[in-house]
Every structure is written in structure tokens, then in C-alpha cells.
């Protein structure tokens, strides 16, 4: 796909819309959260300092403004051409999951919502994508080849994909800068692939998410001033699934979150009651707990390390996974 100068200008406008509102709203939210007592403890530091929660709210605002900017460009400037109902359906699904995440942060599974309810709530957010029959019903099955599965794609695979990705991304979280960093790497890779395949709606949503996550990372990196919480992780996971569906690259979307599937195995062994955390010593080095309930515990069991190094290790592993996926796509070794 050739780079259109008009598209480049539009991409910058969408990115800046998302980045700037998230960047300037986040510190306001931090002050408001402290004023209202909506804070959590940073379990990975000595003294467990208090940190503002509900950091997904500025990202929701950033994505919303970015999508509104893209619609303004389509309507009044004409630099962009895309399917408006498809874009709105994808955006609504992501924002609905973000709203579910906010509710989950306030009255989550530790405070009143059962774990199974926490898992299945995102199913309802898939309704907008189901209504517009987003994606393609043509899938390639092993030993069978390409087949059309008809309405089962939108009625079954789309909702399963949304809730599966949202909850999978939510599992590998809890360290300063980790969720935002993972989201930036994964969404950037998917957005780049969508650009080369001409999936404009997926590219727009991807750029909106990247801008918001980059701005949020400034406040969430070590030492974090704000936590993303479920309002961030569930929304980003839904965003990954939505971009994959709109870009007709479901297999790539499933593969690129390989670390989260590994985390799923660890969490399943503990009946989804374990959390990602380390035990800090007086020097700030994290150690693994006695029982392994996370990929992060396995890494710390192999080598105790400071939080920044642990996050860097996981982000490096995710970068390798993303680069491998893009390599397979670019050399046409990954058909989807």
C-alpha cells in the first residue's frame, strides 16, 4: 500500500488528538482520584506507596476524540475514506469494554462481582460488531483449507474473540509501565500490518489507541503515578481483537499475544486466583513468591531483579514475538 500524503496528515491529526487529551487529562485525574480516595497500593515496592487508580478513563477520552477527529476529516476535509458504520461499531465495542473495566475497577471480583461474571461481561460489548457483521466469514482451517462459516463468524467467533482477548490481556498486568508497554507493541504491530493490507478502519482505531497509550505511559512508567486497572487492560484487549477482526487477521491477533496465553496457563493452574506481583526486598529487588502463579513469578524465580528490569524483560520478549509475527506476514509465511 503506497503512503498517501493526505492519509499521513490524517494519521498525525488522529494521533495528536488521542495523545494530547490523554496527556493533559491524566494528571487532572490523578489529583481527583487522590482527593476522592480512589487509590491503590503498589505491592511491588517497599512501603506499598499509594497510587491513583482508574487510569483507563483518560485513554477512553483520548480514543473517543481521535475517532471523532477521523469522522470530522471524512466529513469536512475528505482526506480519509472509510466505512463509517464499521468504524463506529468497532469503536463502540472498545468503549463499552472500557466502561465495563471502570465498573470492574470500582466493584471488581474482589469486591462484589463474581469471577465468572467478570469474564463474560465483555461478551455484550461485541454486539455492535456482530450487528454490522464485521470481518469476513472466510476462514482457513488446517488440513481443510478455506471455508465459509456464514453467520457463525459474527454470532460466535466475534464475541468469543472480544471477550477472550480482553480477559487474556488483563491477566499479564500489575507492574509499572507493563500493560501500556505491551499494548503499544502489540497494537503498533497490528496497525502496521493493517496499513499494508489496506484496512483503514483498523488503522484508525490502532492509531487512536497508540496515541493514548503513549501519553498514558508517561505517567504509568516506573515509578507509576497512576494505575491503568481493568479499565485499561480490558479495553486494550478488546482493541486488539477489534483491529484483528476489522483487518481480517484473526490468526495474527491470536499469535501476537502469545505471552498472554502462557500467562493463562499459569493462572488456570491457580483457578484464576493468582496475581502478578513480586516480593520486594530493601534494595528494591523483586523475588518470586513460593508458588508460581504467573509468568512473572517464573522469571523472578530464575533471576530476582528490580521492577524496571522485569518489565523491560517482558517487553523485550513481546517485541521479539511481534517482530516474528511481522516477519512471517511480510514474507507471506503467515496466511490469514
With beta carbons less than 8 A apart as the criterion, state whether 190 and 201 touch. Answer: no
Which percentage of the chain shows pLDDT scores above 90? 74
DSSP 3-state of 314: helix
Q: How far apart are CA 64 and CA 258, in angstroms?
A: 28
Q: Give me the domain span that covers residue 151.
A: 5-254
Cα angle for residues 30, 36, 38 (degrees, 5° grid): 65
In a domain, 104, yes or no: yes
In the structure grid, which three cell numbers stand for residue 332, read together? 507471506
* Stretch 276-284: mean pLDDT: 93
User: What is the tally of structural domains in the chain?
Assistant: 1
In a domain, 263, yes or no: no
In a domain, 84, yes or no: yes
In a domain, 259, yes or no: no
Q: How far apart are CA 136 and CA 146, in angstroms?
A: 12
The answer to which of 13-17, 135-139, 308-312, 314-318 has the lowest mean pLDDT is 135-139
State the CB neighbour count (10 A cutoff) for residue 150: 10
Q: How far apart are CA 115 and CA 125, in angstroms?
A: 18
Cα angle for residues 117, 206, 146 (degrees, 5° grid): 80
In a domain, 86, yes or no: yes
Helix (H) or strand (E) holding 141: strand 138-141
The whole-number pLDDT of residue 3 equals 47
In a domain, 30, yes or no: yes
In a domain, 334, yes or no: no
In a domain, 188, yes or no: yes
Amino acid at each position: 500500500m503506497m503512503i498517501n500524503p493526505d492519509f499521513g496528515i490524517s494519521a498525525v491529526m488522529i494521533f495528536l488528538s488521542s495523545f494530547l487529551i490523554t496527556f493533559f487529562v491524566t494528571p487532572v485525574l490523578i489529583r481527583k482520584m487522590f482527593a476522592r480516595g480512589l487509590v491503590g497500593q503498589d505491592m511491588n515496592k517497599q512501603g506499598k506507596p499509594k497510587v491513583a487508580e482508574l487510569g483507563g478513563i483518560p485513554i477512553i477520552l483520548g480514543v473517543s476524540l481521535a475517532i471523532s477527529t477521523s469522522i470530522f476529516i471524512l466529513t469536512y476535509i475528505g482526506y480519509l475514506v472509510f466505512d463509517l458504520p464499521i468504524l463506529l461499531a468497532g469503536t463502540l465495542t472498545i468503549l463499552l469494554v472500557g466502561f465495563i473495566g471502570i465498573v470492574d475497577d470500582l466493584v471488581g471480583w474482589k469486591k462484589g462481582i463474581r469471577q465468572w461474571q467478570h469474564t463474560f461481561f465483555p461478551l455484550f460489548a461485541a454486539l455492535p460488531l456482530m450487528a454490522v457483521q464485521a470481518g469476513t466469514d472466510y476462514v482457513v482451517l488446517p488440513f481443510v483449507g478455506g471455508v465459509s462459516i456464514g453467520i457463525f463468524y459474527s454470532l460466535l467467533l466475534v464475541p468469543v474473540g472480544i471477550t477472550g482477548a480482553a480477559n487474556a490481556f488483563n491477566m499479564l498486568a500489575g507492574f509499572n509501565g507493563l500493560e501500556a508497554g505491551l499494548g503499544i507493541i502489540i497494537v503498533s504491530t497490528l496497525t502496521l500490518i493493517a496499513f499494508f493490507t489496506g484496512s483503514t478502519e483498523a488503522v484508525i482505531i490502532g492509531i487512536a489507541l497508540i496515541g493514548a497509550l503513549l501519553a498514558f505511559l508517561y505517567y504509568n512508567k516506573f515509578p507509576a503515578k497512576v494505575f491503568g486497572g481493568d479499565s485499561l487492560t480490558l479495553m486494550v484487549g478488546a482493541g486488539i481483537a477489534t483491529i484483528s477482526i476489522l483487518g481480517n487477521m484473526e490468526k495474527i491477533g491470536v499469535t501476537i499475544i502469545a505471552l498472554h496465553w502462557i500467562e493463562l496457563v499459569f493462572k488456570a493452574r491457580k483457578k484464576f486466583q493468582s496475581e502478578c506481583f513480586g516480593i520486594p526486598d530493601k534494595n528494591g529487588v523483586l523475588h518470586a513468591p513460593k508458588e508460581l502463579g504467573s509468568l512473572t513469578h517464573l522469571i523472578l524465580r530464575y533471576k530476582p531483579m528490580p521492577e524496571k528490569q522485569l518489565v523491560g524483560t517482558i517487553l523485550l520478549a513481546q517485541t521479539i514475538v511481534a517482530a516474528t509475527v511481522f516477519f512471517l506476514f511480510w514474507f507471506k509465511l503467515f496466511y490469514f
